Amino acid sequence: MFQDKVIIVGITGGIAAYKAADLVSRLCKKGAQVYCIMTRSAREFITPLTLQTLSRNPVYTDMFAEPRQWNVEHISLADRADLFMIVPASANTIGKISHGIADDFLSTTVMATRAPVLIAPAMNVNMYLNPITQENIKKLKELNYHFVEPGFGDLACGYQGQGRLAELEDILAKAEELLVRDKPLKGKKVLITAGPTRETLDPVRYITNRSSGKMGYSLAKQAYLLGAEVTLISGPTTLRPFPGVKRINIESAREMHDIVLKTYENQDIVIKAAAVADYRPKNSAEHKIKKQPGEMVLELERNPDILAELGQNKGSRILIGFAAETNNVLAYAAEKAKRKNLDFIVANDLTQPGAGFGVDTNIISLVFPDGQIKSFPQMDKEEAAREILLVAAKHLNKTKE
């Protein structure tokens, strides 16, 4: 999403200015072309050389410095920008932008840009909560400036409260959201399941599988970036959902079954990416099962087939399943798509390097009930998720016609 995007990062005065170096570094690693603008106060906390080294681009500090090339530099930068970020943003800079004051390189460039502007305030809690600051923020929001609210905690000034710079992960997430201009799923509701389930044997032991949840979480993120209202029903995983995605945690297949059926009714697209256990122990012990002489016999019973049940009541929804197989992948996937009344199924061969559980890439084929197959080369799971959702959006539009 950031690859080859031109991003301006404005840095204002405040102790959080040092975090801008980490932000610039992360943006560059994601492939963005980053240009930094520093206010005079910002240079009291971090040097232009640091940001120039990290961005590999000139750092702009002086409105009236001799231009590096023959153009009006603040206008040139403003025109090239895909996104304008101010991290951290002081109360002074927020106030100047709110009132149209353009008296330095940063404020003039903000005034000249047509790119989305993302502002991440950082300041003393009393300054942030001051009615003047709040009124300035409110005014800018009404003018379609975007904000990442500061966090709560210990502040450098010794106070506690709201005012510390938001986490960089949240700032980057909002930036990514603003860079996605096409929103084919805007106004749509998308339900996604992800991760493994755990079937309890006793208070200590359970049956599970190797699913990491990465594919499902990537789908949830991309659906949100494409404009959808996203509900993610997740089995146990250490992954963090993309900001804005509503997560509901479950543990067992029966819990997932109940939550999915409760949530299913109002959805436009449902994607069952979770690796749900087919079987569970017939009896779950109240206390830890002690080791006994000889072998242990474990009796299992079937879990409900959530996807098949949804297919019986599909209506106009787009219903998508996953088929992770180790042999006859496409044949099994086609049969499953038809039998469970799916719009299409995402098939992947777990034996292929770079596909399956626990890795950041996948190799997928979309298999349709009529036998059509759309195959993709190995790609990042987020790229794969985006391709799946774009196909789903097209199918949804056809059903609405």
Would you kindly state where each structural domain of the chain is located, as residue ranges? Answer: 6-179, 189-285+297-400
C-beta atoms surrounding 91 within 10 Å = 21
The pairing of beta strand 199-200 with beta strand 206-207: antiparallel
Least confident of 84-88, 372-376, 394-398: 394-398
47: CB partners within 8 A, 6+ apart: none
Residue in 75, 157, 204, 331 annotated catalytic? 157
Confidence (pLDDT) at 17: 96
Tell me if 6-179 shares its fold with 189-285+297-400: yes
pLDDT of 70: 44
Q: Which residues are annotated as a binding site for CTP?
A: 278, 288, 304-307, 322, 336, 340
Using the predicted structure, report yes or no on whether residue 67 has a pLDDT greater than 60: no
Alpha helices in 272-371 (DSSP H): 306-311, 329-339
Residue 377 vs residue 350, higher pLDDT: 377
Q: Is 36 one of the catalytic residues?
A: no
Cα 56 from chain centroid (whole Å):
27
What pLDDT is recorded for position 76? 80
| Residue 72, pLDDT score | 45
Rounded Cα gap, residues 117 and 328, in angstroms: 50
For residues 164-193, give the mean pLDDT: 96
Q: Is the pLDDT of residue 91 over 80?
A: yes
Q: Tokens 């860079």 identify what position?
A: 179
Torsion of CA 384, 389, 395, 398, to 10 degrees: -140
Question: Residue 401 has what pLDDT?
Answer: 55
With left for phi above 0 and alpha for psi between -120 and 50, is residue 153 left, alpha or beta? left
CATH class, domain 189-285+297-400, is alpha beta
SS3 state of residue 365:
strand
**Mean pLDDT confidence for 67-73:** 51
**Cβ within 8 Å of residue 282, ≥6 positions away:** 299, 300, 301
pLDDT the model gives residue 154? 83
The DSSP bridge partners found for residue 361 are 380
Take residue 320 and report the two structure tokens written for it.
């998508």
Beta strand 206-207 with 229-234 is unpaired
The rounded percent of the chain whose pLDDT value lies above 70 is 97
- pLDDT digits over 179-232, tens only? 999 999 999 999 999 999 999 999 999 999 999 999 999 999 999 999 999 999
For the cut 60, the answer to whether the pLDDT of residue 24 exceeds it is yes
| pLDDT value at 392 more than 50 | yes
Tokens describing residue 293? 């002489």
| Nearest-angstrom CA–CA distance, 323 and 368 | 12
92 contacts 119 by C-beta, under 8 angstroms: no
Amino acid found at 49 = L
- Binding-site annotation, residues: 278, 288, 304-307, 322, 336, 340
d(C-alpha 28, C-alpha 3), whole Å: 9
The better pLDDT of the pair 358, 271 is held by 271
> Average per-residue pLDDT in the chain?
92
Max avg pLDDT among 90-94, 293-297, 357-361: 90-94
Give the pLDDT mean for 62-72: 57
Q: Which residues pair with 154 in a beta bridge?
A: 160
* Token pair 């570094």 in the structure block, residue: 25
pTM for the full predicted model: 0.89
Kindly report, residue by residue over 326-364, the tens digit of the pLDDT: 888 888 888 899 999 999 999 988 888 887 777 889 999
CB atoms within 10 A of CB 391: 18
Residue type, 215: M
6-179 maps to which CATH number?
3.40.50.1950
At how many degrees (to 10) do helices 214-225 and 381-400 cross?
Answer: 50
